[in-house]
Structure 1
Amino acid sequence: MKNKATGKSYAKIIWFGEHNVVYGKPAIAIPIYSVDVTATIEKIQNGQEIHCRYFDGPINEMADNLLGVKTLTNHLISLFGAQNIAFDLNIQSKLPAERGMGSSAATAIAIVRAFFDFFEVNLTRSQLLKLANIEEKITHGNPSGLDSATASSNMPIWFVKNEINEQIDFNLPTSSLVIADSGIEGKTSEAVSLVHDNVVDEPETAQPLINELGKIAESAREALATTDDELLGKLMNQSQHDLAELGVSNHTLDTFCQIACDNHALGAKLTGSGLGGCVIALAKNQTDAQQISTALRKAGATQTWIQSFKNYQFSTGEAHDNLVR
């Protein structure tokens, strides 16, 4: 056992496939290294304390709004027989809540990694995702697993609900992604219900859009592997058009996308459930990324992040149960 240990995870962004993933179509999500969560466990003299932006005190006194974190932490304490070990768990998160960036999953991933590091036990990817799901089931009821899979990954995820969860080939060494927070909380349940109602009430209009979004994701996978950032940008613009047609965009998101494209973005779209949350824009280089970021801030974005792809690890399409500690 160590005196001090850490675990880290990342924000997730759905690049392609939000909403259509609910209907069995593929999605592509990526970890955002510049927006991370760090969990630190340190031995103390007495008690078992947790410190985060929502709570500061004994773990057993955490309120119901943090029931997922409390349950996961208690499960890990039991797993390692640590009921009598005094420690302090400190969680530092750069992720804004309710923005479609996977805040709860990233927190769970960081906590699990910190515990395994603290007790110096190797952790496989499948173990990590299974443990993180303890928190996600409480927070989200019936999670798809996409958030945890992405928050724990070092490369993009190709995801089909209940079928496929794999890391994929990726090669964009000079491009960057700009993420802009609209300042409006995402409305996941409302957006999902809206799309569902459209599919049921107007299937002749909505279903073709769902199908097309799935095909866009398939084309994007090929573009990611072949360094075709121009095509990726076009696919992002088409996705935004289709998502707007489904009713999950709004004036602010539409405006941010247009401003990004007016400032040399190859493409831009909302990410996540929509009706708020974030917009993402693809930049060909760092200079364009900075210009896009500045323009979006001037337009009212509360925060922006720039994620360079030059340090992303490339997939070999092989085993995904490697040690991740």
Structure 2
Amino acid sequence: MKEKATGTSYAKIIFFGEHSVVYGKPAIAIPLYSVDVNVAIRLTAIGQTIHCRYFDGPISEMNDNLKGVGVLIQRLLSRFHAPDLPFELSITSKVPSERGMGSSAATAVALVRGFFNLFEKPLTRAKLLELADIEEKITHGNPSGLDAATASSEAPIWFIKNQINEQIEFHSSDLCLVIADSGLKGKTSEAVSLVHNNVVEDAEMAIPMIDQLGQIANTARDALADSDEELLGTLMNHSQLNLAQLGVSTKTLDKFCQIAVANKALGAKLTGSGLGGCMIALARNQRDAQVISTKLRQAGATQTWIQSFKNYEFSTGERHDNLVK
């Protein structure tokens, strides 16, 4: 066992498939390496303490909103037959909460990696996701698994609820994704309920929109594999139109999308549940991304991030995850 260890994970962004994924359609999500969570564990002489943005003190005294974290830590220590191990744990997160970026899942993934690193044990991707799900079930009740899969991935995730959760082919390019925070918390339950009501009460409008969002995700998978940047941008714009028609966009998100496209973005759309949260824009290169980012901040975005597509790698097979993150 080491004296010190670390674990890292990433925020997630839904690229395509918001809301339609609830109805069995595919979604594509991508990890954001520029928005990470870092866990640092250091053995001490006595006690078990945690330092994070929500709590600072003994793990046994953590607030209820961190119950999932506490249970996950207990399960990990039990797994390694060290329930009373004295340590100091620090969690540093760049992932904003309640923005649809997978903050809790990213924390869980980083914790699992950190403790496996500390005990110098091998960790497969399957085991990582299984353990991260412990925290997610407590925090979210019935998680899809998409957040943890993306937070731990080197490549985009192709996801169909209760069916498929896999990394997909992705070819490097000069493309960049600009993410802008509207400054308003996303309203996931409200947005999901709104779309559901539309499906029930205005099926003639809503169901074709859901079907189109699913087809867009299918087409986007091929566009990613072929590095068809123009098509990806067009698909993003079509997605935004459909999501706005379903009622989950806002004036701010619409404005941000318009500003991005007016400043050379290939396409732009909201990401996540909508009714707040973030939007994303696709830029041809780093230079265009910087301009778009600046324009969005000038328009009121509270934060922006830029993710280069060159960072993504595609891997096949079961990957061993220990001691490298």
Answer yes or no: same fold by TM over 0.5. Answer: yes
- 1:238 counterpart SS class: helix
Instruction: Describe how 1:88-237 pairs up with structure 2 within 5 A.
Output: 88-237=88-237
Aligned counterparts of 1:14 and 1:145: Cα–Cα separation in 2? 13
Aligned-pair CA distance for 1:79 = 1.0
- Match of residue 270 from structure 1: 270
User: CA 1:260–1:252 in 2, change beyond 3 Å: closer, same or farther?
Assistant: same
State the distance in 2 between where 1:141 and 1:43 align. Answer: 32
Distance 1:322 1:260 in 2: 37
**Aligned partners of 2:172 and 2:311 also within 8 Å:** no
2:80 corresponds in structure 1 to 80
TM-superposed deviation, 1:110: 0.2
Match of 2:217, as an amino acid? A
Q: 1:162 corresponds to which letter in structure 2?
A: N
Q: Which residue of 2 aligns with 1:288?
A: 288
Question: Could you report, residue by residue, the CA deviation over 1:90-142 in whole angstroms, capped at 9, with x for unpaired residues?
Answer: 10000000000000000000000000000000000000000000000011111
Q: Deviations over 1:217-254 (max 9, x none)?
A: 00000000001011000000000000000000010000
How far has the Cα of 1:80 moved from its partner? 1.0
Residues 178, 304 of structure 2: 8 Å contact kept:
yes
SS at match of 2:312: coil
* Residues 172 and 224 in structure 1, CA contact (< 8 A), matched pair in contact too: no
CA positional deviation for 1:322? 1.4
- Equivalent residue for 1:53? 53
Q: Quote the residue 1:324 is aligned against.
A: 321
AA matched with 1:148: A
| 1-structure distance, mates of 2:170, 2:113 | 25
Distance 1:290 1:185 in 2: 24
Number of residue pairs aligned between Structure 1 and Structure 2? 322
Query: 3-state DSSP class of the match of 1:25?
Result: coil
Is the 2:167–2:314 Cα contact (8 Å) retained in structure 1? no
| Structure 1 alignment gaps of length 5 or more | none
CA distance in 2: counterparts of 1:300 and 1:147, whole angstroms: 27
Amino acid at match of 1:211: D
Q: Could you tell me how far 1:172 is from its partner in structure 2?
A: 3.7
Native 8 Å contact 1:172 1:229 kept in 2:
no
Within 5 Å, give how 1:19-58 maps onto structure 2. Answer: 19-58=19-58
Deviation, 1:309, is 1.1
Matched residue SS, 1:57: strand
Alignment-derived partner of residue 248 in structure 1: 248
> 1:314 Cα shift?
2.5
Tell me, yes or no, if the aligned pair for 1:179 and 1:304 is still in contact at 8 Å.
yes
Separation (CA, whole Å) in 2 of partners of 1:270 and 1:311:
22
Separation of aligned partners in 1, 2:75 and 2:59 = 12
Using structure 2 for the length normalisation, give the TM-score: 0.98
CA positional deviation for 1:77 = 1.3
Separation of aligned partners in 2, 1:129 and 1:175: 29
Tell me the amino acid that sits aligned with residue 34 of structure 1: S
Aligned twin of 1:311? 311
Secondary structure at the residue paired with 1:14? Answer: strand
Runs of 4+ in 1 over 4 A off after TM superposition: none
Equivalent-residue separation in structure 2 for 1:311 and 1:179 (angstroms): 16
Is the CA contact 1:181–1:279 (under 8 Å) kept in the aligned structure 2? yes
- CA contact under 8 A between 2:9 and 2:36: conserved in structure 1? yes
